[in-house]
Amino acid sequence: MPEPLLDRIGRPLRDLRVSVTDRCNFRCTYCMPKEVFGKDHAFLPRSQILTFEEITRVAAIFAGLGVEKLRLTGGEPLLRKHLEKLIALLTGVHGLQDITLTTNGSLLEQKARSLFEAGLRRITVSLDALDPRTFAAMNDMEFPVERVLQGIQAAADAGFAPIKINMVVRRGVNEADLLPMARRFQEPPFVLRFIEYMDVGNTNGWRLADVVSGNEILDRIGAELPLVPLTPNYPGEVARRFRHRDSGGEIGVITSVTQPFCRHCTRARLAADGGLYPCLFANRGLDLRAPLRAGLGDREIAELIRSFWSAREDRYSEVRSEATRELPKPEMSVLGG
Ligand code: SAM
Ligand code: SF4
Ligand code: SF4
């Protein structure tokens, strides 16, 4: 085993999130509000987006530097044509132990089987509400919740396990869906994760008052469905996990705002245009597309990543305040959530 590559505060590089597109068919108000991502919005031209071969090459270089987990995201990753081809390529990368994908579920009904056949085994579906009106208001495209539920069912039928369900909770918007969601997804293969609403990007008008804390969420669920804490799978696990005492299923909270976990953050992010970011809130990335296309060898690119990671000292969530809210930040749809 080579020595782990550590950043300035001793965090190893273990995970890579790859955004495969900055486009999305939803306009979730907390991520790509319509007023900003309107009809005239200029998305990345195709020529500026990394090809599957480029992504696979970068993934292999990262695996050589210690990355074991890779998550495909976006924008909406299932909008990228022939994504199955990328999955098949990535399953062949030596050292990658875990490949997964986060999707809004809108195209999952059609795609679940082919994704599974390409080698994907784990999937995360974002779903913020079961109530049709609340869901339509959150995705802001009148997309019917029923179609996402059919997509989740198709994933279960195809054999995906676990299927994680991500719910971003916003005060006064989808709080009423907490319990119905916990009830519906309380058995395997489902693992429900409640996510504190974050101040990503500069367009969603985030306010601390809109955040429902993980503790409050757990109290509200636990009062109806008793929960038993689970020991972390590994030190510094991002989600705080619990078991439903009665059904045996798993549930968790990701408390990025009220109990940040930056000191355990081992994640780099590769944006759709090949920019490499050390943190979800970093406003500048290292361009990997130019060196890839300029013909640099794998060793030289690995060296660029090495110096990038060694210089990393980001820990935004630990220093977040009303003042940091105003700092320029990349949009999550570009960087990859
Ligand atoms: N389009 C896909 C989806 O929605 O699953 C993948 C990309 S999306 C940016 C990844 C995740 O980020 C989703 O689970 C979404 O709910 C979450 N997300 C987006 N904006 C957020 C915010 N302001 N706070 C917390 N989570 C957010
Ligand atoms: Fe699209 Fe996902 Fe952002 Fe919603 S959270 S707008 S589905 S990228
Ligand atoms: Fe990692 Fe940045 Fe999030 Fe902290 S704020 S957990 S460093 S991505």
Please report the domains of the chain, with CATH numbers, ordered by start residue: 15-335 (3.20.20.70)
pLDDT value at residue 317: 87
Give, for ligand 2, the residue of 17, 23, 126 to mutate: max count of ligand atoms closer than 8 Å to Cβ. 126
Dist CA 261 CA 318 (whole Å)? 8
Distance separating alpha carbons of residues 6 and 147, to the nearest angstrom: 43
Q: How confident is the model at residue 205 (pLDDT cuts 50, 70, 90)?
A: confident
User: Would the pTM count as exceeding 0.85?
Assistant: yes
Q: Does residue 23 surpass a pLDDT of 60? A: yes
Spacing, Cα 311 to ligand 3 middle (Å): 15
Q: Please enumerate in sequence order all residues whose Cβ is within 8 A of that of 166, keeping only pairs 6 or more positions apart, or say none.
A: 102, 124, 125, 126, 127, 193, 195
Looking at residue 237, what is its pLDDT? 82
- Rounded distance from Cα 317 to ligand 3 centre (Å): 6
Cα(285)–Cα(275) distance, integer angstroms: 5
CB of 143 closer than 8 Å to CB of 170: no
Tell me the pLDDT tens digit for each residue of 109-124: 999 999 999 999 999 9
Is 75's C-beta closer than 6 angstroms to any atom of ligand 2? yes
Closest CA to ligand 2's atom 3: 31
The per-residue pLDDT for range 262-298, each reduced to its tens digit, is 999 999 999 999 999 999 989 889 999 999 999 999 9
Q: In this structure, what are the phi and psi dihedrals at residue 295, rounded to the nearest 5 degrees?
A: 90, 20
> How much is the pLDDT for 324?
74
What residue type is assigned to position 335 of the chain? L
Instruction: Check residue 1 and give its pLDDT.
Output: 56
Residue 157 backbone dihedrals phi, psi, to 5 degrees = -65, -35
CB 257 within 8 A of CB 211: yes
State whether the beta carbon of 76 lies less than 6 angstroms from ligand 2.
Answer: yes
Q: Please tell me the distance between residue 31's alpha carbon and the centre of ligand 1 in angstroms.
A: 7
* Mean per-residue pLDDT, 185-209: 89
Identify the pLDDT of residue 82.
98
Q: Which residues of 36-68 are buried (b: 16+ CB within 10 A; e: fewer)?
A: ebeeeeebeeeeebbebebbbbbbbbbbbbbbe
